Amino acid sequence: MADLLTRIAEQPRDVLEAIANSMDVRASEPAMRSICARYLGRLAAPNAEVLEVGCGNGAATRLILRHVRPARLVGIDVSPVFVAMAGEALAGEAGVSFALGDAAATRQPASSFDLVVAHTVYTHLVDPRAALAEAHRVLKPGGRLAIFDADFASLSVALFDGDPLQSAAAIVLRHMVHGPHIMRQLPRLVAAAGFVVESVEPHAYVQTTSPDYLLTLFSRAMGAAGRAGEIGQAMVESFDAEARRRVADQTFFGSLTFLSVTARKGR
């Protein structure tokens, strides 16, 4: 089953707003802010022209602006609603603009950017090879590509073997992710696309007392499963109640490995 973001044009406004809220929550969590400061800080380039692929509502754009400090940033997304949200959120930011565009068809000129950033995008792509070819096309010679995403195959909330809450992780993979293993394959695909891989760095993400992002992720996935008729509303509510009970009892444990991959286009 294709995840929600591969079918973003079909989603009603309330679903888009829930996704946008999740983006805001993830971008504001201390653990994620620390990870982004580390991987984006290494890309700092105050004079760079940056293309952000899959800008969403602009939540990650703020982090890119803070740590990369580009001279110009163009954010693209396939959702006109998200493009409008991002434009409103960052109105007045000098050198920042947003437009419709796809990872595999950015609608941007060839050899026009110093850096392409795809933040939590590749797990949702149907054709990552086409996206890599497009990134190669729009980058200047010597330009850099930075891809950051979760290895969703590592997602776990289990406290013991057979933990029923872990079955919710499988529902996340069914409804919220298209390529749960893509980050494991990405270094090979990046090299095949003509890039020189510079680094592949893992980032541990563990949430216990305040797992706000994971709670929104699981809630959206369970809601999608309910709307698809896979599970009943009682089960949707029971999974949510159990996750929140564990948070209240300080027994919740969620872990997910993120990876950042950076590469350079040949001159």
CB 53 within 8 A of CB 85: no
Which whole number is the average pLDDT over 188-198? 97
CATH number of 4-151+179-206+258-265: 3.40.50.150
pLDDT tens per residue across span 79-122: 999 999 999 999 989 999 999 999 999 999 999 999 999 999 99
205 φ, ψ (degrees, to nearest 5):
-130, 110
pLDDT at 197 over 80: yes
Q: Give pLDDT, residue 224.
A: 86
Q: Give pLDDT, residue 4.
A: 64
pLDDT band of 228, cuts 50, 70, 90? confident
pLDDT at 16 over 90: no
Alpha carbon dihedral 30, 18, 56, 54, in 10-degree steps, equals: 100
Q: What amino acid occupies position 86?
A: A
pLDDT band of 2, cuts 50, 70, 90? low
pLDDT band of 153, cuts 50, 70, 90? very high
How is the chain split into domains, by residue range? 4-151+179-206+258-265
Contacts of 40 (CB under 8 A, 6+ apart): 63, 64, 66, 67, 68, 117, 146
pTM of the model: 0.94
pLDDT at 149 over 90: yes
Q: Give pLDDT, residue 260.
A: 98
Mean pLDDT (the chain) is 93
Q: Give pLDDT, residue 14.
A: 83
Residue 102: DSSP 8-state: B
pLDDT at 1 over 60: no
Strands 195-207 and 113-119: unpaired
